[in-house]
A and B are shown apart, each in its own frame.
Chain A
Amino acid sequence: MHKKLSKQNDYRNYKGIMIEPQIRDFFIGRIWTRNNTPFPKEKIEKYINSNHLSIRSAITVIQSPNLFKQKFFKCNRCHNENQEEFIQFECARCNELCVYCRHCINMGRMSRCTDLIVWSGPVPNFKHHHELAWEGKFTKAQEQASNELIASINLKRNHLIHAVCGAGKTEILFPAVHFALNKGLRVCVATPRTDVVLELFPRFQKVFPNTILHAYYGGSPKQPGFAQLVIATTHQLFRFEKAFDVVIVDEADAFPYTSDQALQKAVYKVRKNEAPIAFVTATPSLKILSQVKQENWGHSFIPRRYHGYPLPVPRFVSLWSYDKKINKGKLPPKLISWMKTRLEQKAPFLIFFPTIQLMELATPLFQEIDPKIISVHAEDPNRKEKVVKLRNEEIPGLLTTTILERGITIKNVQVAVVGAESKIFTSSALIQISGRVGRNVQFPDGEIVFFHHGITMEMDVAREEILRLNKEGFEKVTV
């Protein structure tokens, strides 16, 4: 028994109880609501009484020492400290002036009288033998990045992998994750998008056939056993604390991660002391690039796609007052002729729209030309099926909001952005959208056009960056 306990555990006064592995495995590294666990209430209370689970209030109230005795709140689940998102109210449960956090409310409300529980009992050692079932071949740049990432994990320092869309960045992670698992470390791959979790999970499952891995996203099913490898949305990290020895954030430039302070903090709170974090992105923010320099992170840069061809460069085409025309029930002629060309070439196409409303107005107009054209948006329950239909050439084209800006690969896809000047199309969104084109080695080139009502700085930045990457890719790397 003693041999199985990890050295980090100090021996507390545990009262002797038989630990049920499924309860221990569930709670290790988690921070959970006391009254809402998948186990019977009496059992949870028993573990609390024996000090295997410890309790913490969900909201910490800090009273400032000055005259005004101002109160500051902090949420212990999502680590939110934005005071505007704390709401005080007369609570009928604790019969006091209570407070709750709005930031993570869609995962169940946390108030001051909500108890959170964390595992404080012994933790078994994790498995050291994991199989890596992957026989793909790396380009030189991929191999170098992969080795650099392993070195950073070994040195316990943070790492940035800056890889262009289509560089094959998921594969780069496989050897590093394998290395960490074999050292008996617990690894988390987190990403802001549920779609990306759903895409990554089966790939990791295939590559790590004898590793227990879990996928966590809003509405994910209960999964048995202790997962040494976790694939999760960044939102789900709110439910973990000091859990992982290695954290990898994939698509670290995606919404809402970039605009949500609490999500960014969550990445840090789920790692064990000073555990390394790796960020993988095609469009690193200035903030991250300066952290790389100042904090001496590891840094890998892959400016070239795995197939060796340059990134397709977007064309800018004016489409004046497109929204007024669509509102009046007419498609702009340039857009019609762009689409007709794709139909003639029998090349699948994606057309991005800035809003659902505009897209829904435009959909029937496109359908007048080809009734098989359909549209998709974030809340569409059939969105996976619709992408599959495009991939299988059952439909000629798909209209979409920014939801499909990343994570999808369709052979020979041609892309147009309508209203590229809209606020929602940031330079990184536009780079991602452009990155959908030419990913397949048989069709390494393709059409990417930004239809606009005036060129924005974001559009310029996106184009400049793609040109710069292409230049770097051909000067620096020889495959």
Chain B
Amino acid sequence: MKREVTNCLLCNAPLNEMITWKTLLTNAYPKMICQDCENKFELYPQTGDEEVIALYQYNEVMKDYLHLYKFMHDVVLAKVFRDHIHKSLTKKEAIIVPIPMHPVKLKERTFAHVDELLIAANINFEHFLDKITMETQGEKTREERITTPQIFKLKVSTDQVKDQDILLIDDIYTTGTTISHAKNLLLETGANSVTAFTLIRV
């Protein structure tokens, strides 16, 4: 098994990963961060909420991680959680639909951060939605968020959505507005069920 990096992507400490029988047999991805860094991320408690599943809490290290990945544009950090994302999504039967970016924002960032998480984890997905507003939900007050008209439009034909089970993917779940906009649109179009999966939940 070829090692992709020799140093931790987050703290640059040398990675002395032992290739054990377990990693060989389970075919896990090679590590991209060191054990010390890995230990600093905290799992999101499993609440039994089937509507929204989240992997991690939004603690200080996660804040730093998201800043480096999304705002400093360090695309390779998409691979940090690939093993966990892969294990969580590979057996899902629903159609995986990432939350899209507005095309102008996409050009600025140069990569779609949600898509990249899925690509790194080797998960197939489909683009069902287009983002039609440039504003970010976080900048609004609660009132504004609730009254905002739809922020997505359908990218594909109604037939592709009808009677399907859909799993929406986003990087972070804060107020739930983004997910609920997407969910409402897909349910109105005739989807059978819409659930969500996010890397982080605040």
A residues lining the B interface (CB < 8 Å): 84, 87, 89-93, 98, 100, 102, 105-106, 108-109, 111, 113
Contact = CB atoms under 8 A, between A and B. Distances in A.
B111 A89 contact: yes
B145 interface: no
Interface in B64-118: 68, 72-76, 106-112, 116
Given A91-B110, A93-B107, A102 B73 contact: no
B6 A92 contact: no
B109 A89 contact: no
Contacts of B28: none
B5 interface: yes
Contacts of A98: 110
Contacts of B6: 84
A106 B72 CA distance: 7
Given A84-B5, A84-B6, A92 B76 contact: no
B107 A92 contact: yes
7 contacts: A84-B7, A89-B110, A92-B109, A93-B108, A102-B74, A102-B76, A105-B72
A377 to B, nearest CB: 15
Given A84-B5, A84-B6, A92 B75 contact: no
Binding site of A, secondary structure by majority: helix, strand, loop or mixed?
Answer: mixed
A341 B131 CA distance: 68
Given A84-B5, A105-B72, 16 more contacts: A84-B6, A87-B75, A89-B110, A89-B111, A91-B111, A92-B107, A92-B109, A92-B110, A92-B111, A92-B112, A93-B110, A105-B73, A108-B72, A109-B72, A111-B110, A113-B110
B39 to A, nearest CB: 12
Interface of B: 5-7, 68, 72-76, 106-112, 116
A100 B73 contact: yes
Contacts of B107: 92-93
B75 A100 contact: yes
Contact of A105 (B74, B109, B112): B74
Nearest to A86: B76
A92 B116 CA distance: 12
Contacts of B108: 93
B66 to A, nearest CB: 15
A109 B111 contact: no
Contacts of B5: 84
A260 to B, nearest CB: 10
Contact of B111 (A84, A90, A105): A90
Nearest to B108: A93
Contacts of A90: 111
Contacts of B7: 84
Contact of A109 (B74, B106, B112, B116): B74
A84 B111 CA distance: 20
A89 B120 CA distance: 11
B124 to A, nearest CB: 16
Contacts of A108: 72
Contacts of B75: 87, 89, 100
Contacts of B74: 87, 102, 105, 109
Nearest to B73: A109
A93 B5 CA distance: 26
B107 to A, nearest CB: 5
A192 B174 CA distance: 40
Contacts of A113: 110
A16 to B, nearest CB: 35
Contacts of B109: 92
A109 B74 CA distance: 8
Contacts of B116: 89
A271 to B, nearest CB: 28
A100 B111 CA distance: 12
A90 B107 CA distance: 12
A151 B68 CA distance: 47
Contacts of A92: 106-107, 109-112
Contacts of A93: 107-108, 110
B3 to A, nearest CB: 10
B101 to A, nearest CB: 9
Nearest to B4: A84
Contacts of B112: 92
A111 B76 CA distance: 13
B43 to A, nearest CB: 21
A108 B7 CA distance: 21
Nearest to B112: A92
A92 B112 CA distance: 8
Nearest to B75: A89
A89 B75 CA distance: 7
Contacts of B106: 92
Contacts of A105: 68, 72-74
Contacts of B110: 89, 91-93, 98, 111, 113
Contacts of A91: 110-111
A422 B142 CA distance: 51
Contacts of A111: 110
A281 B9 CA distance: 32
A93 B111 CA distance: 8
**Which of A84, A90, A108 gathers most chain B CB within 10 Å?**
A90
Contacts of B72: 105-106, 108-109
**Which of B68, B73, B116 gathers most chain A CB within 10 Å?**
B73
A87 B68 CA distance: 14
A89 B110 CA distance: 9
Contacts of B68: 105
